[in-house]
């Protein structure tokens, strides 16, 4: 009888968990996939997920987190839109003894304010993209235009840094223009149109480096509208590995992407469940893989396998 009740209570524990998730918004295909994968992972584990979409605004995220604290949730997931400005609200969660897990972006705040962070190594993603370009252009002169992610977000800061590091030793490669496209297709296209105008109708541009695939897809459209061929007249390298970049690659219009898994919630819930069960603190940084894909890696097949996965 005793063992049965122990079993019941531990089963009940996972099923009784309520977790608040403050999501940034739906700026990219990758973000949409992360949202659906998080919902699926919660359902699979019997976790009740309270979802709040912040529509890209930090103030909405702070409000949502305060709401989750007031409701007494068991844990909070947050994908922080920008790096700064989190100390107060994370301190409130800590005072309420509610563990916080960061998903996919980092914060500039003391590490004791969150249980763990599940994210990629974003500097490395930039390096992988940069190394690919160094290899691709060899000794040819190459003017690069850069589409940055959301200003003040860790992926924008770090992906820029890693890429610059990788091309750093090469005198033939330089970033001639760099502007934010806010991680969206529409802005990526609009900013790329400006770059094309400023650089001799695009003829002076050798490559586009976009901090995510959605901006690259927007840029590809702008390049085509200008009468140039993306993938050959202008090289296109970006990050995420969403289905649409693989179909662009299959069509010869994109050259490389660095994959980012949308399943940040799986490792986050694993860490949380272990922590709530034994009080075992997880690693502070759980780092996901950053794998390069090029047209040699069966882009059509990658498109097929991914398109169902919540994108």
Question: Could you say whether residue 243 binds ligand GYE (CB under 6 A)?
Answer: no
Dihedral angle, C-alpha 177, 183, 186, 188, nearest 10 °:
20
Calculate the alpha carbon distances from 14 to 28, 34, 42, 115, 192 in Å: 31, 21, 10, 18, 47
93 or 217, CB closer to ligand GYE?
Answer: 217
- Tell me the window of 27-35, 45-53, 161-169, 278-286 that interacts with ligand GYE (CB under 6 A): 27-35
Residue selected from 240, 244, 259, 302 as contacting ligand GYE according to rule CB under 6 A: 240
Cα torsion angle, 237, 242, 247, 250, sign: positive
149 or 282, CB closer to ligand GYE?
Answer: 149
Residue selected from 22, 49, 77, 105 as contacting ligand GYE according to rule CB under 6 A: 105
Task: Give me Rg for the CA atoms of the chain.
Answer: 21
> DSSP strand E in 104-183: where?
116-120, 142-148, 173-180
Spatial CA neighbour of 311 closest among 260, 243, 264: 243
In the complex, minimum distance from the CB of residue 63 to ligand GYE, in angstroms, rounded to a whole number: 20
Dihedral angle, C-alpha 255, 256, 262, 266, nearest 10 °:
150
- Tell me the window of 24-32, 42-50, 172-180, 193-201 that interacts with ligand GYE (CB under 6 A): 24-32
Residue 241 region by backbone torsions, left for phi larger than 0, else alpha for psi between -120 and 50, else beta: left
Neighbouring-strand partners of residue 32: none
In the complex, minimum distance from the CB of residue 306 to ligand GYE, in angstroms, rounded to a whole number: 14
Question: Could you say whether residue 130 binds ligand GYE (CB under 6 A)?
Answer: no
- Tell me the window of 28-36, 62-70, 265-273, 282-290 that interacts with ligand GYE (CB under 6 A): 28-36
Question: Could you say whether residue 311 binds ligand GYE (CB under 6 A)?
Answer: no
Residue selected from 33, 69, 249, 260 as contacting ligand GYE according to rule CB under 6 A: 260
Instruction: For residue 214, give every residue at least 6 positions away whose Cβ sits within 8 Å of its Cβ, in sequence order, or none.
Output: 27, 28, 29, 30, 183, 184, 185, 188, 240, 242, 244
Residue selected from 28, 35, 61, 180 as contacting ligand GYE according to rule CB under 6 A: 28
Binding mask 164-183 for ligand GYE (x = CB under 6 A): -------------------x
> DSSP strand E in 104-229: where?
116-120, 142-148, 173-180, 207-210
193 or 240, CB closer to ligand GYE?
Answer: 240
Residue selected from 47, 82, 93, 104 as contacting ligand GYE according to rule CB under 6 A: 104
Question: Could you say whether residue 27 binds ligand GYE (CB under 6 A)?
Answer: yes
Q: Contact at 8 Å (CB) between 163 and 155?
A: no
Residues interacting with ligand GYE, by CB under 6 A?
A: 27-28, 30-31, 104-105, 155, 183, 212, 239-240, 260
């Amino acid at each position: 009888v005793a063992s049965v009740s122990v079993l019941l209570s531990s089963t009940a524990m996972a099923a009784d968990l309520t977790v608040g998730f403050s999501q940034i918004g739906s700026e990219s295909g990758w973000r949409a996939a992360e949202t659906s994968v998080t919902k699926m992972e919660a359902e699979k584990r019997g976790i009740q997920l309270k979802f709040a979409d912040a529509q890209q605004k930090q103030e909405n995220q702070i409000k949502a987190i305060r709401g989750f604290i007031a409701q007494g949730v068991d844990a909070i997931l947050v994908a922080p839109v920008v790096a700064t400005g989190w100390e107060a609200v994370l301190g409130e969660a800590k005072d309420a003894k509610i563990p916080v897990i960061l998903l996919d972006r980092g914060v500039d705040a003391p590490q004791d304010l969150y249980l763990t962070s599940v994210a990629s190594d974003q500097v490395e993603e930039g390096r992988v993209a940069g190394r690919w370009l160094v290899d691709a252009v060899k000794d040819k002169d190459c003017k690069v235009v850069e589409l940055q992610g959301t200003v003040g977000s860790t992926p924008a800061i770090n992906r820029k840094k890693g890429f610059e590091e990788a091309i750093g030793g090469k005198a033939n490669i330089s970033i001639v223009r760099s502007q934010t496209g806010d991680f969206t297709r529409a802005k990526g296209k609009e900013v790329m149109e400006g770059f094309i105008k400023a650089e001799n109708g695009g003829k002076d541009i050798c490559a586009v480096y976009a901090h995510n695939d959605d901006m690259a897809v927007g840029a590809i459209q702008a390049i085509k509208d200008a009468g140039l061929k993306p993938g050959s007249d202008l090289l296109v390298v970006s990050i995420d590995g969403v289905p649409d970049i693989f179909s662009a690659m299959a069509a010869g219009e994109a050259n490389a992407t660095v994959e980012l898994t949308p399943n940040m919630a799986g490792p986050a819930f694993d860490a949380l469940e272990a922590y709530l069960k034994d009080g075992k603190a997880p690693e502070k940084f759980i780092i996901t893989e950053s794998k390069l894909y090029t047209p040699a890696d069966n882009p059509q097949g990658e498109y097929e396998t991914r398109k169902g996965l919540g994108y």
